[in-house]
Amino acid sequence: MYIYLPDLKNRPGVVFDYDFDEELTDFHADFSEGGTVKLAIKVSHSGQEVLVKGSIEASVEAVCSRCLEPFVHKVNTSFTESFAVVKGSAGEESPANLAVETANMLTVTGDILYLDEYIRQLIILAEDHSPLCRPDCKGICSGCGFDLNQHACQCVDHDSEIDIRLLKLKELKSGN
């Protein structure tokens, strides 16, 4: 996800629309493969800064915090950010380094604004840190260990088995 800036710079203040629909690749090391991100942004260049405004719709593979099953976690967020233009060229800097600089310093160096790292950080911030596969996920029983979304709790049966054994034990004892 990147914006080539010279066209915007030549028309200061004019708002350009961009849409991205991408896979979350190796670059997004914190995400499992198979996730996607949709980005719809409006970008303008003032000469001193690049203003970016828009929304993110991401689908990230996550693990349910209750039942521990993997599921696709939808993350939606919107943002407005201005990136200060650093004079001079990007030189030998790699796109990955420039993307990290842009995310951490909110600056842009050279002709291209690399947004990958910035967007990655926004998704992580917007993510629910105790995600649920569904709002009413029943989770795992601490007694029988069954996933209660898929099986009935086995604790009752288990208890009654023990009870029968205890009863037999009592019978034996009283028989003596």
Output 74-80 pairs: Cβ under 8 A, ≥24 positions apart. Answer: 75/123, 75/126, 75/127, 75/128, 76/126, 77/122, 77/123, 77/125, 77/126, 78/54, 79/52, 79/53, 79/54, 79/55, 79/122, 80/51, 80/52, 80/53
Smallest separation, CB 126 to Zn ion (Å): 20
Smallest separation, CB 18 to Zn ion (Å): 36
- Closest listed residue to residue 119, CA positions, set 45, 27, 48, 14: 27
Binding site for Zn ion (CB under 5 A): 64, 66-67, 133, 137, 141, 143-144, 153, 155
Smallest separation, CB 31 to Zn ion (Å): 19
- Cα dihedral 52, 58, 61, 67 sign: positive
Smallest separation, CB 60 to Zn ion (Å): 15
Of 69 and 111, the one with the shorter C-beta distance to Zn ion is 69
For 23, the enclosing helix (H) or strand (E) is strand 16-23
Of 110 and 131, the one with the shorter C-beta distance to Zn ion is 131
For 102, the enclosing helix (H) or strand (E) is helix 95-105
Of 10 and 142, the one with the shorter C-beta distance to Zn ion is 142
Smallest separation, CB 136 to Zn ion (Å): 9
